[in-house]
Amino acid sequence: MKSLTQHTDYGNEGLSDSEVGDDPIALFQAWLQQAEDAEVFEPNAMVLSTLDADGTPSSRTVLLKDITDEGFVFVTNYDSRKGEALDAHPPVSAVFGWYALKHQVIVTGRAERATSEVSDALWNRRPKGAQLASAASAQSRPIDSREALDAALAELTARYPDDVAVPRPENWGAFLIRLSTIEFWAGRSMRFHDRHLFSRTADGSWSRQRLQP
Ligand SMILES: Cc1cc2nc3c(=O)[nH]c(=O)nc-3n(C[C@H](O)[C@H](O)[C@H](O)COP(=O)(O)O)c2cc1C
């Protein structure tokens, strides 16, 4: 096992002022494509942090499902811990950790439930097995055993055979994160990394600052 104090070399690539450009969404899409090309497992995974109603922070991985003019979209169970947290506190932070590429992107913004049309469209693109699993799971709630979970899935599988569509559960849907900031981090040698922080301005455009590593 690698010693936890061993220093890895992060190379010298970085992200220069000319490469970073002035469109953070275009740069994000280019980095996401690089992660896909490098066969990063689930390149669209982000670690989403929220605050529970009582102020307790929590984080978990979710998959980015769409990038629109309005922001980033992910799907989940609205009654899950994160769903309830977002109803209480819309501000979020999410991290894309593309370590194999020495890239990190951190976004912040406010999450809101997407329209039912957006949720329906994403539900309909979901494979049937995943639809059944989502419908069978009261996400984040305790359950006595794996057998009880499997029984719930078996019951739904029998109710919705191959030719019968699974309706979208009312508590399953999309959230839209309206982005406030996007920070790009690119590793360089000697831990002297590049950081560029884009912030949304009042007129909807983006301003950029270079941050110290
Ligand atoms: C790679 C990966 C992708 C995941 N994608 C999602 C997702 O898109 N939506 C989701 O609700 N949970 C997803 N999960 C599960 C969550 O991390 C988490 O366990 C679940 O949503 C419950 O979180 P909560 O109790 O904080 O609400 C994913 C987990 C991993 C490891």
- 129, 173, 169: which is closest to 153 by C-alpha? 129
Is 8 domain-assigned?
no
Q: Name the residue type at position 9.
A: D
Decide if 138 is inside a domain.
Answer: no
Instruction: Write down the pLDDT at residue 13.
Output: 86
Tell me how many domains the chain contains.
Answer: 1
Is residue 191 annotated as part of the catalytic site, yes or no? yes
Asked whether residue 7 is assigned to any structural domain, the reply reads no
Does a structural domain hold residue 151? no
Q: In this structure, what CATH number is given to the domain that contains residue 82?
A: 2.30.110.10
Tokens for 163, please give them: 């030719």
Our answer on whether the CB atom of 61 is closer than 6 Å to any ligand 1 atom is yes
What distance in angstroms lies between residue 139's CA and the mean position of ligand 1's atoms? 9
Among 148, 211, 193, 147, CA closest to 9: 193
Q: Are the C-beta atoms of 49 and 59 separated by less than 8 Å?
A: yes
Write out pLDDT tens, residues 101-140. Answer: 999 999 999 999 999 999 999 999 999 999 999 999 999 9
Rounded Cα distance between 63 and 47, Å, is 9
Looking at ligand 1, which residue's alpha carbon is closest to its atom 31? 61
Report DSSP state, residue 144. S
**pLDDT tens digit sequence for 8-62:** 888 878 999 999 999 999 999 999 999 999 999 999 999 999 999 999 999 999 9
Q: Which residues pair with 36 in a beta bridge?
A: none
145 in a domain, yes or no? no
Inside any domain, residue 46: yes
Can you give the residue range of the structural domain that contains 47?
17-126+170-211
Instruction: Identify whether 140 is part of a domain.
Output: no
Which pLDDT score is estimated for 101? 96
CA dist 181 and 198 (Å) reads: 5
The CA distance from 207 to 24, in Å, is: 10
User: Percent of the chain having pLDDT more than 90?
Assistant: 93
User: Distance between CA atoms of 126 and 129, rounded to whole angstroms?
Assistant: 8
Residue 112, pLDDT score: 98
Residue 184 falls inside a structural domain: yes
Nearest ligand 1 atom to the CA of 140 is 25
Q: Is the pLDDT of residue 172 over 80?
A: yes
C-alpha 19 – ligand 1 centre gap (Å): 33
Look at the block and give the residue holding tokens 């996007």. 182
Contact 74, 114 (CB under 8 A): no
